[in-house]
Amino acid sequence: MKDYADGKILSETNGPVTTVTINRPEVRNALDNDAARGLGRALRDFDADESQLVAVLTGAEGAFCAGADLNQVANSSDYVAWAGDPDGPTHGTLSKPVIGAVAGHAVAGGLGIALFCDIRVVDDSSVFGVFCRRWGVPMSDGTTVRLPRLIGQARALDMLITGRGVGGDEAIDWGLATRKARLGDTLPAAQELALQIAGFPQIAMRTDRMSAYAQSGLTLEDAIGGEKRLSQAAKAQEAQSGAARFAAGEGRHGRFSSD
């Protein structure tokens, strides 16, 4: 177990999976500046560790993240721009997948943390929302960019303008989340999924993922050209051996192993 920002962020590995936990349950895992930078460091350390293939991001004790710590914001407007600051936790895109285990509130900046994840697992306790709307605190965590790209402009504007909450089932309907676990099981469900993904050949999975991110804003021709370029490494290093496994009978009649 590693900790960052004096224990406000915890990081633990299980085989090829890193679980990063926001550990400020006394404020529903809201992030002050130290915790925000610590979360950014924890995620970048995961990304740099060649032995770690997938991360799970969660919050301690039944909440995901309530956003920026407004007690700190009340005393200073100089707080970390989580997406725009290179030290911020939602800056850029990692080279490996991150799964959000979203139990409880993922609101204000916590919504931005959830949107940073590639996949979000929810349960009946999950709530997404721009709850900082009522306090005049702007989003600076990537939400105004990532949310419309994920769920469409109309629904994103509804959330951004009204600040209303979106529960787990509605989040699934909107594509804000894609997987639902039993109440209280978002973390084990996300960890199980992470282990499954870690078992896949990694190059093809990662380049397909990066192509999906990179295509936004490109013309169809340029996006397809980008996909072709990104696919070359997997073609050279993984595709032939994988096709040989299939030709030998693996994967037929529902039998499949990711090893």
Q: What is the pLDDT of residues 75-86, one digit of tens each?
A: 766 667 899 988
CB environment 159-185: b (16+ within 10 A), e (fewer): bbeebebbebebbbebebbebbbeeee
Both tokens of residue 133?
């709307």
pTM of the model: 0.92
Lowest-pLDDT range, 22-26, 47-51, 107-111, 227-231?
A: 227-231
Q: What integer pLDDT is reported at residue 81 of this predicted model?
A: 81
| Mean pLDDT of the region 189-209 | 97
Residue with tokens 């290093």: 237
Segments making up each domain of the chain, as ranges: 2-198, 202-254
Helices and strands in the chain: count of H runs, count of E runs: 10, 10
Dist CA 113 CA 163 (whole Å): 17
Q: Topology of domain 2-198, per CATH?
A: 2-enoyl-CoA Hydratase; Chain A, domain 1 (3.90.226)
Q: pLDDT (tens digit, 9 = 90+) per residue, 96-131?
A: 999 999 999 999 999 999 999 999 999 999 999 999
What confidence category does residue 164 fall into, taking pLDDT thresholds of 50, 70 and 90?
very high
Residues listed for the chain? 259
Residue 59 contacts residue 98 (beta carbons within 8 Å):
no
Q: What integer pLDDT is reported at residue 248 of this predicted model?
A: 72
Residue 142 contacts residue 82 (beta carbons within 8 Å):
yes
| Mean pLDDT of the region 170-197 | 98
Using the predicted structure, report yes or no on whether residue 252 has a pLDDT greater than 60.
Answer: no
Q: At what angle do helices 220-234 and 202-214 cross, to 10 degrees?
A: 170
Lowest-pLDDT range, 103-112, 133-142, 240-249?
A: 240-249
